[in-house]
Homo-oligomer: A and B are copies of this chain.
């Protein structure tokens, strides 16, 4: 049992039969066809020779098949991680140089080791500190950045840059030198791909295909464009008219490589490796969870870390670059009927065959076509509507999202993601330090107590109840003190102060000191201090301190009990004073 948790293949492998194998094989064929151009394109995006894209689609897939818990996640090179790889490696050397390739292998190795480590120590929850708006903003900005970075291939002009500003500036300077045949292939491919996302399936259905087959075939639009443009270059000798192509690719399988141990370079690559690992993990788990839920399966995020770690180590040892679970190809894998991770292993075999036998055929594949497939893929990730939705819902979430987008575009992917996470944590801490505090009274006819400013409620003179809507901890302990003193100073007639703790999930040592100080000062002011609705875990801890011994008042199970008892007490104390008749008020 324990072993199959770390090697899920032991679990599903036991029940593997011919029917499952047939489904997996079909899915693998379809994903292979889709993955070949994607692998070449994302290698180009990462600044690497095309065959490295194929290498990164073999060993990692086998590793994931052994360790992964998702039945349908398809791993390999993905757009955002490839962009982050390029940004990090370009600090080490010129794109395509041996140092650069060494850096991408080192990134895959560091990323694999990091993911494996946090998976083994079950620290996957750390990824939760990437909030949805930050992820969404980051993906949107990366999509725009990637699209901009591909315009040079699309138009056949030289341009460089890591940020949108640099890219646009560089493009503006060189755009007059564009190559007409390249631009025709690039823009034509782009137009076809955009159209095919919506228009191809209905057309194929009109031509007589079944809806399912038409839908599947429509997703092969990029393959069509690849074939057509490669044929055009070959037939018209366009590579002699300025159209850049993939060119000579060494035929054969990847060799075993060992990442060069260079502590200096590793130090520089460590932070980028951590960031791209987290981004890749978040993308993979989101996809895996969405797909698992559709079939009522479950995935284990910590084991996913192990699996993605193994995939990246596999990539590093076979000359590849950082990989993750891809969104589009996993959906295709799922739709094509993949039932187990074995489909991924079969896909690896397919890619290996392509590396062995297919590379001469793609000699004439134009870079502009690859750029067009990248642009279409990443622009589908750009989600500007979530900006306005988030703006309406929460200004702080929007600020974190906007900062992520702006910094990613202006200063690069690492700055963007660090700023987004930092800002969302800062907002969270700030909120905790300034909690909402309400004075509450009883909703008539019930035992329920609500904010006197929002509801028509009943209160008892002499008793003030405040509800603090936050755990009490170091960052708001002093704020609580100030709030209580202000309220008591404003209400001179108070005899009892009840702190309603329904939203207090924790009282740390700093807040305990503040409660003791409040208790002592209220005692000096002849106000008795009570607590109500203290939760079990909080009460357990308070009982280990001496606060409950010095507390001037009591701890009541419910707010209703507190007010009933204190009201009876006040009435008993001053039964003859006609002004002090509390009966009319509650």
Contacts and interface: CB of A to CB of B under 8 A. Distances in A.
Interface string A543-586: 01100000000000110110000000000000000000000000
Contacts of A249: none
A293 to B, nearest CB: 7
Given A125-B479, A393-B544, A558-B443, A510 B428 contact: no
Interface string A496-508: 0000001111101
Interface string A416-455: 0000000011001101111110100001001110110010
Given A447-B446, A537-B436, A560-B446, A129 B475 contact: yes
B128 A509 contact: no
A541 interface: yes
Interface of A: 125, 128-134, 293, 389-390, 392-394, 396-397, 424-425, 428-429, 431-436, 438, 443, 446-448, 450-451, 454, 469-471, 473-479, 502-506, 508-510, 512-513, 521, 533, 535-537, 541, 544-545, 557-558, 560-561
A521 B502 CA distance: 29
Nearest to A435: B505
B428 A432 contact: yes
A393 B512 contact: yes
A288 to B, nearest CB: 13
B433 A129 contact: yes
Contacts of A435: 505
21 contacts: A125-B475, A125-B479, A128-B476, A131-B508, A131-B509, A133-B510, A392-B544, A394-B508, A424-B474, A428-B432, A428-B474, A428-B475, A436-B537, A438-B536, A443-B558, A446-B558, A447-B560, A469-B505, A503-B503, A503-B504, A503-B505
A505 B433 CA distance: 13
Given A125-B433, A129-B474, A424-B474, 16 more contacts: A125-B475, A128-B477, A130-B474, A132-B509, A392-B545, A393-B509, A393-B545, A394-B509, A428-B429, A428-B432, A436-B505, A436-B535, A446-B558, A447-B448, A448-B561, A503-B503
Contacts of A509: 131-133, 390, 393-394, 397
Contacts of A451: 535-536
A393 to B, nearest CB: 5
Nearest to A390: B509
Given A429-B425, A535-B469, A557-B443, A474 B393 contact: no
Nearest to A520: B293
A394 B541 contact: yes
Please give me the 3 A-B residue pairs with the lowest Cβ-Cβ distance, nearest first: A131-B474, A132-B510, A447-B447
Contacts of A132: 474, 477, 509-510, 513
